[in-house]
Structures are given as C-alpha cells and as structure tokens.
Amino acid sequence: MTARPTLLGYVRADALSCAEELAAATDALVAFASAGGFTLGTVYTERDTAESTAFHALLEEVKRTDVRAVVVPTMNHLGSVGTPPANVQFHQANVLVADTR
C-alpha cells in the first residue's frame, strides 16, 4: 500500500468574516485533500497577520519535511491576489488552491 502524499494547509482568519467561514474554509481544505488523494497535515491558521507566526511555522515545517504542497482556500489567504497558483512556491512546495467557485 502506498502512502498518500501530505498537504499542509494555511488559512488567514482576517481574510474571512466570521468563525463559520473559518470552519468552512478548513473543511474545504479537508475535502480538497481527500478528493485529490492527499492526506491533510497541519492547517496553520494565521490570526495575527502582523506577527505572521502561523506563516513562519508553516515555512519551517515545509523546510524540514518532504511536504511538496501547501493548500489555501483562495489566493487571498497568501495576499497574492491574481497570482497564478502554478507560479507560487514555498521553498520546495507548490501552492494549491481549494477554491472551487
């Protein structure tokens, strides 16, 4: 049996309007990972963008593991509106977008 590759998630709480949207965004990451044949690892939730603690923790995990992709609900969560997902990378990890609109 082959292990499913792991995705990490990243969500910025300030990109959402309420706790229900935060829960829905996290659920969307879980569904995206499952549908794509991935295992979803840690979902880093940024609550204070001025500190970027969750973002830096995500980068550290990407650097020290063999994770090849990070999934975000939309590109707005990276502050890169309009950037094509194929052109965005975190060190060795590609960025995938769960947005199905």
E strand residue ranges, the chain: 6-12, 39-46, 69-72, 89-90, 93-97
pTM of the model: 0.83
Cα gap 52→48, rounded to integer Å: 6
| 21 or 91, higher pLDDT | 21
| 26 or 82, higher pLDDT | 26
Both tokens of 33, joined, read: 């990972």
Cα gap 54→28, rounded to integer Å: 19
pLDDT tens digits, 6-16: 999 999 988 88
Both tokens of 80, joined, read: 């890169």
Q: What pLDDT score was predicted for residue 89?
A: 52
pLDDT tens digits, 61-96: 988 888 889 999 988 887 744 444 444 455 667 888
Q: Pairing between strand 89-90 and 39-46?
A: unpaired
Q: Which residue type, as a one-letter code, is found at position 58?
A: L
